[in-house]
Structure 1
């Protein structure tokens, strides 16, 4: 199982880097649309919707992603990213605390999926346009937080973070993830992105990283809640050893749109 997981992870990383550095802009948008299609197909599956609905929903999300490439409106982008930020900061935390369930058929789950999946796919595309290294650095924040939390939780985990949602996560794992992100941020801001702490100041820059790490945990827990309510261990079996696409991008859905919004505001403020 571990061998399969490592091989899949290496293949995904190689595929991501190849797409990031070799695809033209239109090709990258198509790749983000394909990612949105796969994630939307899995999302609809979490609510046990029929196969035709799952595929149709995936096509709708992919088409919406590509439409944003054609529109290319900073105002519309900002509105989309603000909607995502409001959901993750104001709606998701009480949702997790109360463990709400969506009811009323397919309409509400599919609308919620658009709020979560569309901004993250568009943000992934826009961040690559803005600065490919910024995009990779932000994705690495999530990866560092996950890895540090995993090993910290295994070594020191005692107090459960949310046993009703994800029994394997602990507060000690969260603290380890935050510590890993702080160390990572100190290196990145010192070596590759000194303009961030120079403009914002070190305390604010590191606090923003911690906030981003906390949001990544919320995104992870939110998908775990939906899977638990659906009675599923993984969102699908598309990625051997890793489950599905949603299982790999859950933390990115809550972080990428916020960073894309920040990058958009930064660019407009500097222009």
Structure 2
């Protein structure tokens, strides 16, 4: 299982780097739309859609992703403010309430709307951030990877208190703290060696942003875990050997990417 996970992860990272640095903008948009469609198909399964409806929903989300990605080039960056703000509001306010009250994806319209809000802003952020600076989406993914790895190993070594036992019994508060510390340490190292864009934020502001993004990455993971538990599924899919489905791999990115996009848009607007 571990070998399978490592090989799959290596293949995904290699493909991601090639696409991120070498693919033309429209090809990158199409790849993002395909990934978004695959995730939407898995979302439809979690929501209990029938097979035909799930495929139709995935196609709709893919088309919405392509249209939104083309729209990014047609509007000033601060035109994205409302969409990123809506997504950020969902993850900062609605998602915690959702997990606390154990709400369900009841009703096709609700499930479709929430899925669109979870997937589309994150996909749009991948297109937007790459257009601004190719290192931005890679940095966002790196943050999530560092948080995920640190949470896993710190949880295994020091974990005592369950973080959300009824949602994801394997996660601990010690693991979450380890994730925050690891991301801050990596972020401080980057801050120390960077003499450009990072220094537009004061050091304490940078640390606060890293802390918020790490907590949001954990929230994204927990939110999907709740939906899988309610659907009676261990993984969102089986497409990625050793890793489950696409949604399993991007759950933390769905919650962090729109907030990073929001920060970039606000920074651009203020300057």
Determine whether 1:99 maps to 2:137: no
Name the residue aligned to 1:231.
Answer: 232
Supply the distance in 2 between the matched residues of 1:151 and 1:51 (Cα, whole angstroms): 38
Determine whether 1:157 maps to 2:159: yes
Supply the distance in 1 between the matched residues of 2:155 and 2:166 (Cα, whole angstroms): 17
Unaligned runs of at least 5 residues, structure 1: none
Name the residue aligned to 1:264.
Answer: 265
Name the residue aligned to 2:47.
Answer: 47
Give the secondary-structure state (helix, strand or coil) at the position aligned to 2:244: coil
| Aligned residues of 2:78 and 2:268 also touching (Cα < 8 A) | no
What is the deviation of 1:157? 0.5
Supply the distance in 1 between the matched residues of 2:32 and 2:67 (Cα, whole angstroms): 12
Supply the distance in 2 between the matched residues of 1:173 and 1:256 (Cα, whole angstroms): 22
Name the residue aligned to 2:150.
Answer: 148
Name the residue aligned to 1:242.
Answer: 243
What is the deviation of 1:63? 0.6
For residues 118-137 of structure 1, what are the structure 2 equivalents within 5 Å? 118-137=120-139
Name the residue aligned to 1:3.
Answer: 3
What is the deviation of 1:98? 1.4
Unaligned runs of at least 5 residues, structure 2: none
Determine whether 1:81 maps to 2:51: no
Give the secondary-structure state (helix, strand or coil) at the position aligned to 2:91: helix
Name the residue aligned to 1:71.
Answer: 71
| Aligned residues of 2:78 and 2:266 also touching (Cα < 8 A) | no
What is the deviation of 1:79? 1.4
Supply the distance in 2 between the matched residues of 1:199 and 1:131 (Cα, whole angstroms): 16
Give the secondary-structure state (helix, strand or coil) at the position aligned to 2:239: coil
Supply the distance in 1 between the matched residues of 2:88 and 2:172 (Cα, whole angstroms): 25
What is the deviation of 1:244? 0.4
Name the residue aligned to 2:208.
Answer: 207
TM-score (norm 1): 0.96
User: Which stretch shows the higher mean deviation, 261-270 or 238-247?
Assistant: 261-270
Name the residue aligned to 1:109.
Answer: 111
What is the deviation of 1:193? 5.9
Give the secondary-structure state (helix, strand or coil) at the position aligned to 1:232: coil
TM-score (norm 2): 0.96
What is the deviation of 1:99? 1.2
What is the deviation of 1:192? 3.7
What count of residue pairs does the alignment treat as equivalent?
268
What is the deviation of 1:102? 2.6
Supply the distance in 2 between the matched residues of 1:112 and 1:139 (Cα, whole angstroms): 23
